Amino acid sequence: MDDRTLAVETSGKADGFPIFLMHGMPGSRSGPKPRSMILHLLGIRLICYDRPGYGRSTRHPRRRVVDAVRDVHAIADHLELDTFAVVGRSGGGPHALACAASDLFAGRLTRAAVLVSPAPTDAPGLDWYAGMAPSNVQAYREAMSDQRRLIESLTIRADRTRRDPASVVRFLDGELSAADRNVVEDVAMRRQLAASFAEAVRFGADGWIDDALALSQDWGFDPSSIDVPVRLWHGADDAFSPVSHARWLKSQIPHAEFEEQPGVGHFAAMLILPDILAWLATPQVALVDARPGGRV
């Protein structure tokens, strides 16, 4: 790779099936995840890492979404993983899809799942901002047209988060749907979110800025090239990554499964995660035709 450092955290069953969990924006390896007991019951070894510029991972200037492939590859090699799966939540979704689309993981990456992910900003036929919360609209528009202002605004928010980690959660409160408020008002959930945001900006806003820029530009891969099993999940009342984005991804990814859950929003992805992990860890069974030489 290069001389950058990636901060990695594993939890669950040490010899369980390995699954990478790609955090949101902003986020870190310490983000919300199922308790270790649940991971043990599912037989899963969960691997989380800080994307470059977040937490304790070294910044990768001008990184693109597709650059996550090299980082995951380096971690998988370091952990000596023969096979594994990936799941991305929110801003981590495109990074999980990049891994699913990469030939670098041929025969190694078994499945991918994407929860409440945005679509590419240049997605044909998609009204990209329709139904999106004002704070996200502002960040993405600045990323595409006024990067200086993006850097200033996210630096201010990161500084505020370091002083008061709960401020990010309070900032979101004004844009939460009723469904999301029911999730985020849980004391334990708010504590997990605040801790994850604080770790994300431990050394500044670099990861947050670079994520916004990477997600707003060409991702560096074509979702239609993905040929591993993919499962998409999205809450119908999501105001941060509108469900129309997942519908567009479904239209592009061959044979992708898609579940649109009514009455829930963006943060319900944290509640559905154990079910998604169980699907990712399910062994794939090859279908064999009984006729001589036949195979499906």
CATH code at 8-281: 3.40.50.1820
**Distance between first and last Cα of the chain:** 38
> Computed from CA positions of residues 216, 220, 223, 224, in that sequence, does the dihedral angle turn out positive or negative?
positive
Section 148-164 average pLDDT: 95
Can you give the pLDDT at residue 169? 81
- pLDDT, one tens digit per residue, over 5-23 is 999 999 999 999 999 999 9
Can you give the pLDDT at residue 2? 77
- pLDDT, one tens digit per residue, over 181-194 is 889 888 999 899 99
Residue 105 in tokens: 């993981």
Query: Taking 50 as the threshold, does the pLDDT of residue 295 lie above it?
Result: no
Alpha helices in 104-205 (DSSP H): 134-145, 147-163, 166-173, 178-184, 187-200
258 contacts 25 by C-beta, under 8 angstroms: no
- Tell me, rounded to whole angstroms, the distance of Cα 70 from its chain centroid: 16
Alpha helices in the chain (DSSP H): 36-42, 68-78, 93-101, 134-145, 147-163, 166-173, 178-184, 187-200, 206-216, 243-252, 269-281
pLDDT band at 70 (very low <50, low <70, confident <90, very high): very high
User: Smallest Cα–Cα separation from 42: which of 81, 12, 6, 72?
Assistant: 12
Other beta carbons less than 10 A from residue 70's beta carbon: 17
113 contacts 87 by C-beta, under 8 angstroms: yes
> What is the pTM assigned to this prediction?
0.93
Q: Would you call the peptide bond into 26 cis, given omega within 30 degrees of 0 as the criterion?
A: yes
Query: Taking 70 as the threshold, does the pLDDT of residue 217 lie above it?
Result: yes
- Domain ranges in the chain are 8-281
Which residues have C-beta within 8 Å of that of residue 94, sequence separation ≥ 6? 65, 88, 117, 118, 120, 215, 219
Residue 152 in tokens: 């200033």
Query: Taking 60 as the threshold, does the pLDDT of residue 293 lie above it?
Result: no
Can you give the pLDDT at residue 1? 53
Q: Which residues pair with 86 in a beta bridge?
A: 20, 112
Section 269-281 average pLDDT: 97
- Placement of tokens 């105001």 in the chain: 239
**Mean of all residue pLDDT scores within the chain:** 93
Query: Taking 50 as the threshold, does the pLDDT of residue 25 lie above it?
Result: yes
